[in-house]
Amino acid sequence: MVLLCSQRIMIVQRLWRRHLMPAGRNNIAMTTAPSPTTTINDSISNYWKNNFSTNVKTNNNNINSNNTRKFDVVILGGGPVGCEVARLASSFGQSVALVEATREGLPLAAPTGWISKALRHGAIELGTPDGSIRVPWERIEKEYIQPTAERALAMTQEQMHLTNSTISYNNSGGYCLVGETTASTSKTSSKADNDSSATTTARISFLKGNAEFDGPQRIKLNCGGDVDSFVESDTIFLSTGSVGTRVPGLPWNDERADGWLYDSHTIQNIGRLPHHVLIQGGGLIGVEYAFILRRLGANVTIILREDVLLSGKGVDDDIRLAIQGRLRKAGVDVHFDDGDISKVTLPSSPGGQGSVVLTRSGKTIKCDALASMVGRSGTAKPLDLPSGGLPPPTSSGHILVVPTTMRVRPSSSSFVHAPRVWAIGDVAKNSAISPTGLLSTGIAQAHLAVQSAFPDEWSEFMAEGGGGRILGNVGFDAFPPSAIWIEDGVGMVGLSENNASATIPKGDWATVTVHFNDTLKSCVQPRPEDEMLKMVFQKSTGRILGVHIFGAGAAEMIHHASSLVNNPIENTIWHVVKSVPPAVTYAEVLMKACQRAVGVIHGN
């Protein structure tokens, strides 16, 4: 999470006062402003402690003498994916423990990358594509980062039902309980009477501490004290996320590198606009920050091992070329096939300039910030999976799962007596849902896992029509849409051209591309020449296999395309060509793509 200045901390505290403080409590004294080294996590926990310590008393009756508490569901990781599982499980009437090692155990429904989205928004509104205007960092903090933090906390409050009447803070000795929330949910029952419904009370308990397995279905929590606490459950979800991968050989532990060397996670703490930033890696995060920092006025250089940007990220080749062209036009210097560093010279003083020497070319590049963004590593190694009867994580810290259920593969080949444990989000590997590293992917994986863990409850929850009667089970989309916040935006769903060539018989697939400037709307509102929609389709069936969009609004437009890709029987190119979109809208671009696909099939 981002390192915040004291002014920003005070704004976050005011947010919690405004949203959570009960009437008549406005005279409660707040703590003094934290030092600049205090994080947003500290400010959240301090506010909750100071303002809810006298609220509803926590019921610890189910804590036994061994400091162990039992729950229906235990979730490790209180980020957005863990919050989604907690929301669903509690709606089924399950008692839930949501464990978080940071933020004093408090949840945050916003993704790890929220800071880059705030920076991007500010860069687009205040900066220029070519970096000709240097935007004051203080303005970015005040007008974009701070308000985004406030809205993220407010969203968490609403999603997790954090109201002043139901949440409590209880310092329960050695136990790691931070607070609880109780939400009444309507639960439809089909077992006795299809027209009856019952109201259940589901409780989510927020626990803090570093977690590790202490046996099958048993978790040990270390809260920093002398006494460990334990939670037990028949159903456990692991959503501990990922951290930035650190390249060996870079001076990560050298104090002189503080404020100069960053990974893909700590870049959020940069707190300033460098004059020249060197980015190692051409993946999603590296390219995203290259555009952002360039728009804000920094000089940017990218070095990468690969010969193309965004390799292995599911981005279509034509979209990659368009993004590469944007970087070149913006003045970003890109060094392909030259991503390794052989020598680092650290700055002689804080905020000063250092340099690196590239291994392959021998070039020396000076910079006042080095951002090594070469991927993400899973956080499963500290969990001690073998103590829970599970195989150890991969060398990259990820947990192998069954692709279609997200259940952790047991040490044996049988699931009969295997622990009921699921892994979701960035910590999971081998999922049927891709691409990895995106929040939408993690949420979709959470739904798969919850359905696998609670099939009956899920069927009731997702029943189709009939006033609650179950007429059929709602399935999952095979290809959930994805959005990448690079420049104007990328939206993608389904197969890329490369995917199609590997899975569809040769000669039975084709692609068409329509630029936004081919539409009537562009006569009124022209778009950049490189913004487009590319469609991959099957010639024999008219099935739409994939849609890839580059340009403003791509993240919104891809949802319509997703319904076409995931319903191939009801939504072929033939169905789309007979549709009539609203006049003078960019919806025309998809219809034109299908019209051109019909022409390809007919040999035109």
Question: Which pLDDT score is estimated for 528?
Answer: 96
Residue bearing the bigger pLDDT, 168 or 581? 581
Is the per-residue pLDDT at 451 higher than 90?
yes
SS3 at position 26: coil
SS3 at position 510: strand
| Burial degree of 416 (CB within 10 A; 0-12, 13-18, 19+) | exposed
DSSP string, 341-358: EEEEE--SSTT--EEEEE
Residue bearing the bigger pLDDT, 57 or 455? 455
Dihedral sign of CA atoms 449, 454, 455, 457 in order: negative
Question: Which pLDDT score is estimated for 196?
Answer: 41
In percent, the amount of the chain with pLDDT more than 70 equals 80
Q: Which of 8-22, 123-137, 409-423 has the lowest mean pLDDT?
A: 8-22
Residue bearing the bigger pLDDT, 222 or 412? 222
Question: Which pLDDT score is estimated for 437?
Answer: 81
517-570 pLDDT, tens digit each: 999 999 999 999 999 999 999 999 999 999 999 999 999 999 999 999 999 888
* Confidence band of 28 (pLDDT split at 50, 70, 90): very low
Write the CA distances from 148 to 50, 128, 154, 155, 316, integer angstroms: 23, 21, 10, 10, 31
- The two tokens of residue 207 are 């626990």
SS3 at position 210: strand
- The two tokens of residue 529 are 């020449």
Write the CA distances from 76 to 103, 106, 236, 572, integer angstroms: 14, 12, 8, 42
Q: Which of 16-30, 439-453, 475-489 has the lowest mean pLDDT?
A: 16-30
What is the signed CA dihedral for 18, 21, 24, 26, rounded to 10 degrees?
-60
Judge contact between 33 and 10, C-beta under 8 A: yes
Q: Which helix (H) or strand (E) holds 288?
A: helix 284-296
SS3 at position 66: coil
Write the CA distances from 109 to 249, 269, 406, 440, 595, integer angstroms: 35, 19, 21, 13, 41
Mean pLDDT of 587-598: 96
Judge contact between 370 and 261, C-beta under 8 A: yes
392-448 pLDDT, tens digit each: 999 999 999 999 999 999 887 778 889 999 999 999 999 998 778 888 889 999 999
Nearest to 411 by CA among 391, 395, 393, 430: 391
Bond preceding residue 350 cis, omega within 30 of 0: no
Judge contact between 366 and 275, C-beta under 8 A: no
Give the Cβ contact number of residue 185 at 10 Å.
16
In percent, the amount of the chain with pLDDT more than 90 equals 62
58-117 pLDDT, tens digit each: 444 444 446 889 999 999 999 999 999 999 999 899 999 999 998 767 788 877 778 899
223-267 pLDDT, tens digit each: 876 678 899 999 999 999 999 999 999 999 999 999 999 999 999
Question: Which pLDDT score is estimated for 164?
Answer: 41
Question: Which pLDDT score is estimated for 108?
Answer: 82
* Domains by residue range for the chain, with CATH: 58-101+162-241+375-467 (3.50.50.60), 255-374 (3.50.50.60), 482-601 (3.30.390.30)
Mean pLDDT of 119-147: 95
| Burial degree of 362 (CB within 10 A; 0-12, 13-18, 19+) | exposed
319-357 pLDDT, tens digit each: 999 999 999 999 999 999 999 999 999 999 998 999 999
Which residues fall within 8 angstroms of residue 399, CB to CB, at 6 or more apart?
238, 378, 380, 385, 390, 393, 408, 423, 427, 428, 429
- The two tokens of residue 474 are 């709602």
Highest mean pLDDT among 175-179, 521-525, 577-581: 521-525
Question: Which pLDDT score is estimated for 32?
Answer: 28
d(CA 371, CA 378): 19
Residue bearing the bigger pLDDT, 4 or 499? 499
State the alpha helices, DSSP H only, in 59-142. Answer: 80-91, 114-126, 137-140
Judge contact between 490 and 315, C-beta under 8 A: yes
Residue bearing the bigger pLDDT, 33 or 196? 196
The 3 state secondary structure assigned to 388-434 is HCCCCCCCCCCEEECCCCCEECCCCCCCCCCCCEEECHHHEECCCCC
d(CA 341, CA 343): 6
| pTM listed for this prediction | 0.84
> Counting every residue, how long is the chain?
604
Question: Which pLDDT score is estimated for 202?
Answer: 63
Question: Which pLDDT score is estimated for 417?
Answer: 83
Write the CA distances from 78 to 19, 83, 104, 164, 420, integer angstroms: 20, 6, 11, 20, 19
Question: Which pLDDT score is estimated for 130?
Answer: 96
* Confidence band of 159 (pLDDT split at 50, 70, 90): confident
- The two tokens of residue 358 are 């590239």
Question: Which pLDDT score is estimated for 475?
Answer: 64
Identify the residue whose tokens are 């957005």: 80
273-298 pLDDT, tens digit each: 999 999 999 999 999 999 999 999 99
Judge contact between 68 and 177, C-beta under 8 A: no
- The two tokens of residue 137 are 């960092």
Write the CA distances from 382 to 253, 392, 430, 466, 506, integer angstroms: 20, 10, 20, 47, 47
* Confidence band of 474 (pLDDT split at 50, 70, 90): low
- The two tokens of residue 307 are 């010969």
Q: What is the DSSP letter of 266?
A: G
Question: Which pLDDT score is estimated for 510?
Answer: 98
Q: What is the DSSP letter of 32?
A: P
Backbone φ and ψ for 61, nearest 5 degrees, come out as: -65, -25
State the alpha helices, DSSP H only, in 470-512. Answer: 497-503
